[in-house]
Amino acid sequence: MRRNSTNKYLWAALILAIVLLNFAMFNNFAYSQTDSTYERLFKPKTGKAASKNPLHLVLPPLKPAVISTQKISVYKSDDKLLNNVQVYPNPVTDVINVKYDLSRYSLVTIKIVDVLGNDIKTIFNQRLDPGEKVLNYALADRLNHGFYFVRIVAGNESVIKRISVF
CB atoms within 10 A of CB 165: 19
User: Average per-residue pLDDT in the chain?
Assistant: 78
User: Are the C-beta atoms of 105 and 128 separated by less than 8 Å?
Assistant: yes
Position 19 scores a pLDDT of 83
Cα 105 from Cα 128, distance rounded (Å) = 6
> 3-7, 13-17, 42-46, 98-102: which has the minimum mean pLDDT?
42-46
pTM passes above 0.75: no
Domain ranges of the chain: 2-52, 82-165
In degrees, rounded to 5, the angle at the alpha carbon of residue 119 between the alpha carbons of residues 88 and 107 is: 70
Long-range contacts of 20-29, Cβ-Cβ distance < 8 Å, separation of 24 or more: none
**64 pLDDT tier (thresholds 50, 70, 90):** low
Cα 160 from Cα 131, distance rounded (Å) = 20
Cα 136 from Cα 149, distance rounded (Å) = 16
Residue 57 exposure: Cα atoms within 13 Å on the Cβ side: 4
**18 pLDDT tier (thresholds 50, 70, 90):** confident
Cα 138 from Cα 133, distance rounded (Å) = 17
C-alpha dist (Å) from residue 95 to 107, 124, 139: 23, 15, 6
* DSSP per position, 124-151: EEEEE-SEEEEEEEE-TT-S-SEEEEEE
The domain defined by 82-165 folds into Immunoglobulin-like (2.60.40)
Q: Is the pLDDT of residue 139 over 90?
A: no
Spell out the residues 6+ positions from residue 44 whose beta carbon is closer than 8 angstroms to its own.
Answer: 50, 56
Task: Please give the helix or strand (H or E) that residue 39 lies within, else none.
Answer: helix 37-42
